[in-house]
């Protein structure tokens, strides 16, 4: 398990390369692609993390994967470095931190908006404007649908969560009644 | 000297009666003296001499114990009694010389021992009497002592009874309080469980109802309200 500070150091190194080459957004997307692939395939993760397989074989697998995912040379070299250092398991964490660092560098914030049903575009625009106004940054929406929240919306912007879901209100009501 | 005198006295005592008899014999048979001084009557036979007691004091011509008298007149005479008496006196003198001191010492020792034993017996008797007296006194006071003891035992028993009763009452009170507390806690717990069950059921029913009844229009209104709240916060300069 890699620590947050270590993930941040790796992510920052890749960001500096991207900034130097003016390709940090593209590198970020490539890294996300690679991280998603690793996250979604337990067999691949096992093959790359298992020391039973020699490093050369694992590098061959990663090389083939990089080719199929059309990863640029900096991202491929970065992943090979993680393999060399035995840190490939930390790729999803590094990708997440890298994305945050890119957003910070570009003056952006990511907001995860969860709704029970698809959000009306007009309301989405209004919400985005309001969030940009309150944060002072460009807000990128990551929309999710979750019927379990019953109704209303839940927005996570950075470390702040504004929960207006019916489920949460019901839970609050339940807690209030129980505490009486 | 004293011992010799004592021996002589003993001998005299023994010889006294004999001399007395001799005096009597001389009065009755006057003129018939033996050549050795022995008193006898002429023509007296053995029976006669026996009736006169000692008839031969100093003559060795006697006729008893396998010894035959030469003088027919001495027939039946015994051995000379005077020599026997002297012999006895010498014996007494030797005995007093040799045995008097140890005998006296033995007697003194015996006397002291008996006296000592008597003293000890008297002492033991005194002790026994004292002990007897002590026991008699004790026995005399035993009833009072038993009464005192019984009274003390009764008093202690009463105190112990009171203490046990008090402890039992305290225990009973504590048990009752514990039971009451436990019952109250159980009732409270049951009440809370019931309340929790009712609330859970109500919330669950509300959730089910909302799932069934929230329509698109309700969703839109709730989203509207949410966005409006965020806008208000943004205008107020507060983070979402």
Residue B208 counted as domain residue: no
Query: For the CA atoms of B117, B118, B124, B130, what is the dihedral angle to 10 degrees?
Result: -170
CB contact residues (below 8 A), chain A span 115-154, against chain B: 115-117, 119-120, 123, 126-127, 129-131, 133-135, 150-153
User: Does this model's pTM top 0.95?
Assistant: no
Task: Say whether residue B231 is in contact with chain A using an 8 A CB cutoff.
Answer: yes
Residue B26 counted as domain residue: yes
Q: CB-CB: which of B199, B235, B238 is closest to A174?
A: B199
Q: Which residues of A touch B207 (CB under 8 A)?
A: 150, 167, 170
Q: Which residues of A touch B219 (CB under 8 A)?
A: 115-117, 151
Domain chopping of chain A, boundaries: 4-104, 108-179
Q: Is A108-179 CATH 3.30.910?
A: yes
CA distance A104 to chain B (A): 17
Topology alike, domains A4-104 and A108-179: no
Residue B90 counted as domain residue: no
Domain range for B42: 2-79
The residue that leads in pLDDT, A32 or B41, is A32
pLDDT of residue B61: 85
Q: Which residues of B touch A167 (CB under 8 A)?
A: 207
Residue B120 counted as domain residue: no
d(CA A34, CA A48): 13
CATH number for the segment(s) A4-104: 1.10.520.20
pLDDT of residue B136: 87
Residue B157 counted as domain residue: no
Q: CB-CB: which of A123, A150, A178 is closest to B224?
A: A123
pLDDT of residue B21: 42
Taking residues A127-141, report their average pLDDT.
90
pLDDT of residue B50: 52
The residue that leads in pLDDT, B78 or B90, is B90
**What total number of domains does chain B contain?**
1
pLDDT of residue B10: 53
Residue B140 backbone zone (phi > 0: left; psi -120 to 50: alpha; other: beta): alpha
ipTM of the complex: 0.70
Predicted confidence band of residue B178 (pLDDT cuts 50, 70, 90): very high
User: H or E stretch including B69?
Assistant: none
pLDDT of residue B1: 46
Residue B41 counted as domain residue: yes
- B35-64 pLDDT, tens digit per residue, is 444 444 434 444 554 556 778 888 888 887
Q: Are A88 and A61 in contact (CB under 8 A)?
A: no
pLDDT of residue A72: 93
């Amino acid at each position: 398990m890699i620590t947050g500070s270590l993930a941040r150091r790796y992510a920052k190194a890749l960001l500096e390369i991207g900034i130097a080459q003016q390709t940090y957004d593209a590198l970020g997307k490539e890294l996300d692609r690679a991280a998603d692939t690793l996250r979604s395939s337990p067999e691949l993760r096992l093959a790359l993390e298992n020391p039973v397989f020699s490093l050369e074989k694992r590098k061959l697998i990663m090389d083939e994967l990089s080719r199929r995912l059309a990863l640029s040379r900096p991202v491929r070299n970065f992943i090979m470095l993680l393999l060399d250092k035995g840190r490939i398991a930390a790729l999803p964490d590094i990708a997440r931190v890298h994305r945050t660092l890119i957003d910070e560098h570009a003056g952006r914030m990511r907001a995860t908006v969860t709704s029970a049903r698809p959000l009306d575009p007009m309301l989405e625009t209004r919400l985005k404007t309001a969030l940009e106004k309150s944060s002072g940054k460009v807000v990128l929406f990551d929309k999710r649908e979750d019927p379990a929240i019953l109704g209303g919306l839940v927005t996570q912007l950075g470390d702040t969560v504004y929960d207006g879901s019916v489920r949460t209100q019901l839970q609050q009501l339940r807690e209030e009644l129980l505490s009486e | 000297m004293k011992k010799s005198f004592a021996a002589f006295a003993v001998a005299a005592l023994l010889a006294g009666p004999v001399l007395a008899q001799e005096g009597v014999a001389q009065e009755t048979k006057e003129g018939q003296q033996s050549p050795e001084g022995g008193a006898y009557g002429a023509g007296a036979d053995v029976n006669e001499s026996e009736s006169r007691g000692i008839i031969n004091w100093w003559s060795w011509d006697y006729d008893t114990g396998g010894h035959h008298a030469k003088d027919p007149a001495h027939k039946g005479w015994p051995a000379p009694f005077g020599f026997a008496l002297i012999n006895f006196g010498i014996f007494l003198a030797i005995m007093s010389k040799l045995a008097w001191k140890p005998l006296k010492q033995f007697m003194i020792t015996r006397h002291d021992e008996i006296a000592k034993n008597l003293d000890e017996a008297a002492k033991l008797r005194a002790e026994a009497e004292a002990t007897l007296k002590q026991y008699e006194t004790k026995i005399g006071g035993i009833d009072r002592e038993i009464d005192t003891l019984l009274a003390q035992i009764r008093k202690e028993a009463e105190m112990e009874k009171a203490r046990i009763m008090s402890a039992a009452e305290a225990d009973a009170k504590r048990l009752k309080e514990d039971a009451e507390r436990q019952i109250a806690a159980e009732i409270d717990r049951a009440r809370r469980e019931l309340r929790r069950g009712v609330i859970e059921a109500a919330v669950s029913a509300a959730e089910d109802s909302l799932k069934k009844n929230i329509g698109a229009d309700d969703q839109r209104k709730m989203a509207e309200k949410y966005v409006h709240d965020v806008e208000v916060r943004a205008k107020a300069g507060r983070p979402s």
